[in-house]
Chain A
Amino acid sequence: MAATTTAIALTLSSFTLRSTIPSKTFFFPKPSKPISLRRTFRPLSLTPQAKSSDIDTSFFDDVNPEEDIVFDPPTPPEGFTPPPSFDEGPEETEDEIAAAYEELYGPAYSGVSVLGNDVYVMDSKVKKSSAFGKVKKEKVRDGFEERVVQVRRVTKVVKGGKQLHFRAIVVVGDKQGQVGVGVGKAKEVIGAVQKSAVNARRNIITIPMTKYLTFPHRSEGDYGAAKVMLRPAAPGTGVIAGGALRLLLCRK
């Protein structure tokens, strides 16, 4: 079932050629799978987060090092004196440094407060774990629904015997075309399911869907011995699929 899920993920990611989101190749254990799916492996440095920030790195992205690069600095303003290097210049006392940092960032984790701010300001960020059992985690976070595809008990044999863990595979999606698959292992089923949900939220793929919430075209994917074929059908047909695929498509 794990292979099927990976094959499904490969198929779904073949749709992402249309969109500009790079496929998350590091999830798949064997990234050198058949290129018959025409999937491009974008370097991870092109993750969307870096581009959506307002730091303008256009010069460094477009520069072609083979060409001739000239260095013509603008003229210095009149009366320009080079500022002192960080080594020279007056030595600052610790208090001055602490005050300057605190002005910029607040007392944070320094333990001392020169400007009179509350030293324990970062405590509110810590989630207080209650004394009785686990804290009830919020069930519905950011609109994603989770479906457990498989829970399996896996064993590691050590000198003392067998160590048992549970491995959970979970599919996470918002039914609008965003899906993610995640794997997590823990000593208890619930912990494993939570870990895999966290993992799934990290690798999310956006699938372009048509007006009737179906695929744009037929596609196939395979991983190991599992082969998956997805094809769109006319509205009213329903979902004809079994196993992992059904869980993915029915409630996606």
Chain B
Amino acid sequence: MARRYWNINLEEMLEAGVHFGHGTRKWNPRMAPYISAKRKGIHITNLTRTARFLSEACDLVFDAASKGKQFLIVGTKNKAADSVARAAIRARCHYVNKKWLGGMLTNWPTTETRLHKFRDLRTEQKTGGLNRLPKRDAAMLKRQLSRLQTYLGGIKYMTRLPDIVIIVDQQEEYTALRECITLGIPTICLIDTNSDPDLADISIPANDDAIASIRLILNKLVVAICEGCSSYIRNP
């Protein structure tokens, strides 16, 4: 795996506040190797480790993308939802930014049924079939469509299970993480001081509360995916 330059500066990360952890009381003792100091009741993560892990993760993601793997980005926090959607659209990956429905991956056949329904409703809407129905039915279908759009909008191009899953907050997306573990899908996780670093395959200790820090890390990963994709298109 060749190591490339991903423009990871420690100063940039300090500015974004990647090194802040959660309060001292809520920590997970397994994070002890990644915590460097304790300041004002908040744990501070060791930024050199974060930077190293982030660069290795970017290398890995670049390799995977250049082999044509599919990615899924999961982030359901209110603060992060918007940036997750934009990052995924930019990288041409699938994403989940509203609630992660239980069994989305482990119960994939049922999710496929829902996706079929979503597609049929979309085609109906495009061809104007909804206008021919009585108002009440049309309103019901429109409501269903908007529901499916919020929950499944990001995965409507997903034909099979993803190869790598990127999770933004481990505490928040615990169900998603567990599903990936049972299915054996490699995961990349943003770990904060209250999460367990042994669960995910690749854990990046960072701050998951601040929008700036999530944006920074997502940015680096998205750049890696884009480069990998373009190298895959050039020589598959």
A: residues with CB less than 8 A from B are: 43-45, 47-50, 53-57, 59-60, 65-66, 69-71, 73-77, 80, 82-83, 85-87, 89, 92, 97, 100-102, 104-106, 108-112, 119, 122-123, 125-126
**Complex formed: what's the CA distance from A102 to B157 in Å?**
8
**Complex formed: what's the CA distance from A48 to B226 in Å?**
29
Given A76-B5, A85-B219, does the pair A55, B184 have CB atoms closer than 8 Å?
Answer: no
- Asked if B107 lies at the interface with its beta carbon under 8 angstroms from chain A, I say no
Name the distance in Å between B70's Cβ and chain A's nearest Cβ: 8
**Complex formed: what's the CA distance from A49 to B182 in Å?**
10
Q: Verify B159–A55 contact, CB threshold 8 A.
A: no
Interface residues of chain B: helix, strand, loop or mixed (majority): helix
Q: Verify A65–B157 contact, CB threshold 8 A.
A: no
B: residues with CB less than 8 A from A are: 1, 3-8, 10, 33-34, 48-49, 51-53, 55-56, 60, 63-64, 67, 69-70, 83, 86-87, 89-92, 112, 115-116, 118-123, 125-126, 152, 156-159, 163-164, 181-186, 197-199, 201-203, 215, 218-219, 222-223, 226, 229
Given A76-B7, A106-B159, does the pair A71, B48 have CB atoms closer than 8 Å?
Answer: yes
- 6 shortest A-B CB distances, which residue pairs? A111-B122, A65-B33, A49-B184, A86-B90, A109-B115, A47-B184
A-B contact count (CB 8 A): 144
**Complex formed: what's the CA distance from A73 to B92 in Å?**
27
Name the distance in Å between A90's Cβ and chain B's nearest Cβ: 11
- Given the complex, which residues of A lie within 8 Å of B219, measured CB to CB? 85-86
From A94, which residue of chain B is reached at the shortest CB distance? B89
- Given the complex, which residues of A lie within 8 Å of B7, measured CB to CB? 76, 80, 82
**Complex formed: what's the CA distance from A70 to B123 in Å?**
54
Q: Verify A86–B222 contact, CB threshold 8 A.
A: yes
From B153, which residue of chain A is reached at the shortest CB distance? A110
Q: Verify A50–B184 contact, CB threshold 8 A.
A: yes
**Complex formed: what's the CA distance from A87 to B83 in Å?**
8
**Complex formed: what's the CA distance from A119 to B157 in Å?**
12
Q: Verify B122–A86 contact, CB threshold 8 A.
A: no
